[in-house]
Amino acid sequence: MSSSHVLVLNCGSSSLKFAIIDSSSAKEHLSGLAERLGEASPQIKYKVNGQKHIISLSNGDAHEVAINKLVELVKSLKLDQQLVAVGHRVVHGGEHFTKSALITDTVLEAIKQTANLAPLHNPANLLGIEAASAAFSKLPQIAVFDTAFHQTMEPTAFLYALPYALYEKHGIRRYGFHGTSHYFVSAQAIEQLGLNDKPSKIVTAHLGNGCSVCAVKDGKSVDTSMGLTPLEGLVMGTRSGDIDPGLFAYLVNQLNYTAKQIDTLLNKESGLLGLSELSNDCRTIEESAAEGHEKAQLALDIFCFRLAKQIASFAVPLGGIDALVFTGGIGENSDVIRASVLEQLSFLGFKLNNERNLAARFGNEGVITDGVSVPTALVTPTNEELVIAQDAAMLAGEQ
Ligand code: ADP
């Protein structure tokens, strides 16, 4: 059988997540994380055959060094001969990309042009592409975009009620993110619920450090909670989600904030962290709330209330809800949050099955509502790396 191993890279400004995945069997042969790149004491942590290892790098070593070390590692593990492609996660594809793309000079230029919409993410993704193209020069490089799945949204869902010229001249609109995850878990749910070739109305809730929900109608994204940037929508670990845009002028005029300070406030100091004054980590928030920490409880309550409201609102673009899928670190692990959200959505017909909800982890994921009740709620582990590997192997095969 021919090999379909793909090196999957997710490059951040100071980190690089990597994996080698067989796109046919979904088997992961290597996975790891290079962290603190360009800073003090950078290192590469990786796992192969269940064993964990660490490679220490020198102070200031950045992406290029990390990728060259990765090449050595891949060769020493004799995994290089089986690779058919390198798949890159790219956060923002703007309106250029409605699906994954083989990276050519034109594609690279389009990703660069989109960098102004994602200044924190796309430049880092480009570093990964450049370093991997040099290190694995014989392999096709493929870009898989977080925004691509949402390009099926209609203008009613993606336009802000701003002067139209801001959209036409500057591309200011809602794009949505986490598309690879929303695609993967909605496709899994459609399969699991036997809705292939049938109309389906599914809401997917990707709840990790960043959180977003997506309305998926007949397999296509028709609305999502994130917008121009990954700040819009739900309460997240450190991000505020929706706020009154009038807050900007208030912070500037009354409290002398600069644009940079507002950006930091809304992206890094808000959400669960800002409300609880304790942590952005959902586990800590849940544990502290259970011990009587009032602000942790309040943060949790607001997180669940806003999430439930947003999910219910997607009954409009979908014309009802057949199923709700929970995924991401919080969605896959927090029975407390799932129970609270489904309780608040019981008016839509959700009937939580407590036992299933508590058991839904470590391979026991699946339906958490009563067997016969519609709508159904499910826990479905996401696998963005597998989607990247599959798209990359497919596009590499088409060359
Ligand atoms: P990222 O968005 O960075 O990929 P994850 O999807 O791994 O993040 O999600 C991280 C979040 O998942 C953190 O808030 C973490 O506290 C939360 N989480 C992980 N395990 C649990 C758990 N058992 N209960 C509640 N929250 C959890």
Q: Which atom of ligand 1 is nearest to the CA of 272?
A: 14
Whole-number pLDDT of residue 325: 98
Nearest one of 318, 94, 315, 329 to 221, comparing CA atoms: 318
- CA-nearest residue, atom 3 of ligand 1: 209
* Residues of the chain below pLDDT 50: 1
The identity of residue 320, as a single letter, is G
CATH 3.20.20.100 fits 198-384, yes or no: no
- CA-nearest residue, atom 21 of ligand 1: 333
Is 328 flagged in the annotation as binding? no
Beta bridge partners of 258: none
Q: Could you tell me the residue ranges of all domains in the chain?
A: 5-145, 198-384
| 305 Cα to the center of ligand 1, angstroms | 19
| 79 Cα to the center of ligand 1, angstroms | 31
Is 17 flagged in the annotation as binding? yes
pTM of this prediction? Answer: 0.94
Whole-number pLDDT of residue 362: 77
Q: What is the DSSP string of 107-162?
A: HHHHHHHGGGGSTTTHHHHHHHHHHHHHHTTTS-EEEEESSGGGGG--HHHH--SS
Please tell me the total number of residues recorded for the chain in this structure.
399
Is 206 flagged in the annotation as binding? yes
Q: What residues are labeled active site? A: 146
Q: Which superfamily, per CATH, for 5-145?
A: ATPase, nucleotide binding domain (3.30.420.40)
Q: Give the rounded distance of the alpha carbon of 58 from its chain centre.
A: 31
Whole-number pLDDT of residue 2: 60
The C-alpha angle with vertex 327 and arms to 326 and 328, in degrees rounded to 5, equals 145
Q: Which atom of ligand 1 is nearest to the CA of 286?
A: 25
CA distance linking residue 111 with residue 90, whole number of Å: 8
| 69 Cα to the center of ligand 1, angstroms | 29
Residue 42 carries which DSSP code?
-
5-145 and 198-384 have identical folds: yes
Whole-number pLDDT of residue 364: 77
Whole-number pLDDT of residue 121: 86
Residue 44's SS3 state is strand
Pairing between β-strand 28-35 and β-strand 43-48 as defined by DSSP bridges:
antiparallel
